[in-house]
Structure 1
């Protein structure tokens, strides 16, 4: 009787995995397998033809692919790096004894709640080279602002800066959660030992907030590698192809009616994210365990 009861208890929790497993299978596993299959075909809404790896060969021959891949990596590195630095700085400020701390926390997080398309269209107006409010404000203090979105050397960086403005609030919240879990006794002990604010940050806050840093890096990299909506709303990959990223290259293939080719591009983008994020995640976890 005891053995039967123990057996029932050991299998009972597995029933809770069924709903999650079904959701994962229907909304992730099945579409992923279908995407891999359709990337090997020339398909439309009405028919399909299996062509093997021809879509991948053609996709890697696309002139815009090399620049799109480079822009994707640059965009992801710039946005994730700035979110780590600014998110940490804002979190330290907003967990300290400042006036209106609750209000300032709300202001810092507010851009995260705004529609990305709305943010893109708003900054498209603000960054107009002659009529934009940003360049007009810079002109007041004697600075000749660049042609943010129409200058090939500035377009991608301009979108990246807007992305950081919108997304740094989430990084700040993650860092705030990490900092607030650090016992206050550590800071008090360091202060009693004569540690300056910089040394308390370097030897207490920075190492103990490492899990938050890992989360911000991983989430920011994934978001940066997959970014499309903000770039499309602000520049549509232009001027020329100077702000095209992998996602916008794939979308342009869809627009042109090359569905199999664009599906292959989606698979390449998916594999790119996996190949960058998984080793990084493994590296961080290994360092954490050691």
Structure 2
């Protein structure tokens, strides 16, 4: 027979409870090795984002050159907000971001639906749609500025063959900003299309087949199945396109340089003109203002879209 063991007394039970409570903390203290794998990412983040951001905040409060600086407080920000065409630049920036992001969402979704359908040459069409994303932005701007010439441009010459009078795309103050926005959409819609294709192909076919059995038509399936299930893709396209529109500079500068006059100036081009004039501290303060504007607009938008996604 096995010897009988007496139940543990109060003292031994308390000791076992203390060991069970202390062992996880010891394991956590002794298991710090995985935290070292965060070090490379932390170094990259600090070097490429945190340090430049803090340096920009500091130099925005100074009057600086490459060899010296003088602390002047908030004078750069006061002067920046006294710029005569700043309000127009902010307005143009918001219009540009809204137009480009809206068109990329709509066209990207339509192209995504087309390029996930069983059509002939689908892979070739996908490559054609995505190709402009790979082309240099400056190259696209120069090419379209030539094509949009009011008299000798390829676009207006082609319209004249059909008896149509082409507009002055880049020299008309009412059309310059929208013309650049259309080129931006042409160049960036390929990325939106790829995001939508990824969202569309992830939808299980069982949902559509069950809806067909229940008698749902194509529009009903699109409205009640496709649109809700690609909401994460839509949120991604909206946020990325909106950020790109708010920060846009290179395409606008290559095509219009903010003209004619100041009608296509955006915040980034206003900042660049200040930098060209040698007001480095003022342009740095403008960059801080642009960063804050992007954060104030994009963070609430992202929270709203993500909240809608969770509620759905």
Match of 2:69 among 40, 43, 48: 48
Structure 1 residue 201 displacement after superposition: 1.1
SS of 2:237's partner is helix
Match of 1:196 among 217, 221, 229: 217
Q: What is the RMSD computed on CA atoms of the aligned residues?
A: 1.4
Match of 2:263 among 224, 242, 247: 242
Structure 1 residue 6 displacement after superposition: 3.0
Match of 2:116 among 81, 95, 114: 95
What TM-score do the two structures reach when normalised by structure 1? 0.97
SS of 1:73's partner is helix
Match of 1:255 among 252, 256, 276: 276
Structure 1 residue 156 displacement after superposition: 0.2
2:13 maps to what in 1?
Answer: none
Does residue 39 in structure 1 map to residue 60 in structure 2? yes
2:175 maps to what in 1?
Answer: 154
Does residue 132 in structure 1 map to residue 153 in structure 2? yes
Match of 2:47 among 26, 30, 37: 26
For residues 88-138 of structure 1, what are the alpha-carbon distances to aligned partners after superposition, in whole Å with 9 as ceiling and x for unaligned?
Answer: 000000000100000000001000000000000000011000111111111
Structure 2: distance between partners of 1:3 and 1:175: 45
Q: How does 1:55-204 map to 2 (within 5 A)?
A: 55-204=76-225
Structure 2: distance between partners of 1:29 and 1:242: 34
Range moving further from structure 2, 280-289 or 36-45:
280-289
- The structure with more radius of gyration: 2
1:205 maps to what in 2?
Answer: 226
SS of 2:85's partner is helix
Structure 1 residue 12 displacement after superposition: 2.5
Which structure 1 residue ranges, 5 or more long, are not aligned? none
Structure 1 residue 143 displacement after superposition: 2.0
2:9 maps to what in 1?
Answer: none
For residues 245-264 of structure 1, what are the alpha-carbon distances to aligned partners after superposition, in whole Å with 9 as ceiling and x for unaligned?
Answer: 00000000000000000000
2:32 maps to what in 1?
Answer: 11
